[in-house]
Amino acid sequence: MTDAEPTSGWARLWATARPFARPTPRAGAWYPVVGEASSGRVVLEVRGRRVAVQRRFLEIRPDRPNVFTVVVRTRGSVRMTERGEGAQGERVYAVCPYCTTRVRVLQDQPAVTCSRCGHRGAVAWWETG
pLDDT tens per residue, range 14-57: 866 777 788 988 888 999 999 998 889 999 999 999 999 999 99
Assigned domain for 1 exists: no
Which pLDDT does position 86 carry in this prediction? 41
Tell me, yes or no, whether 46 and 14 share the same domain: yes
Residue 78 and residue 94 in one domain? yes
Question: Residue 52: how many CB atoms within 10 A of its CB?
Answer: 15
Nearest to 47 by CA among 26, 27, 28: 26
**The one-letter amino acid at 18:** R
Query: Is residue 22 in some structural domain?
Result: yes
pLDDT score for 85: 44
Quick check: is 98 in a domain?
yes
Residues 80 and 109 in one domain: yes
Which strand ranges, in their side-by-side order, compose the sheet holding 91-95? 102-104, 91-95, 68-73, 120-128, 111-113
Question: Do 32 and 78 share a domain, yes or no?
Answer: no
Same domain, 45 and 90: no
Task: Tell me, yes or no, whether 74 and 108 share the same domain.
Answer: yes
Task: Give the count of domains, the chain.
Answer: 2
Residue 49's contacts (CB-CB under 8 Å, 6 or more residues apart) are 23
For residue 26, tell me if it sits in a domain: yes
CA atoms within 13 A on the CB side of 93: 15
What are residue 82's phi and psi, to 5 degrees? -60, -30
User: Looking at the domain assignment, is residue 90 inside a domain?
Assistant: yes
Q: What pTM does this model have?
A: 0.76
Give the H/E segment covering residue 126.
strand 120-128
Contact criterion met (CB below 8 Å) for 55 and 41: yes
Do residues 51 and 43 lie in contact, with contact meaning Cβ atoms separated by under 8 Å? yes
Q: Are residues 27 and 52 in the same domain?
A: yes
Range of the domain at 22: 9-61
Same domain? For 79 and 51 the reply is: no
Do 96 and 114 fall into the same domain? yes
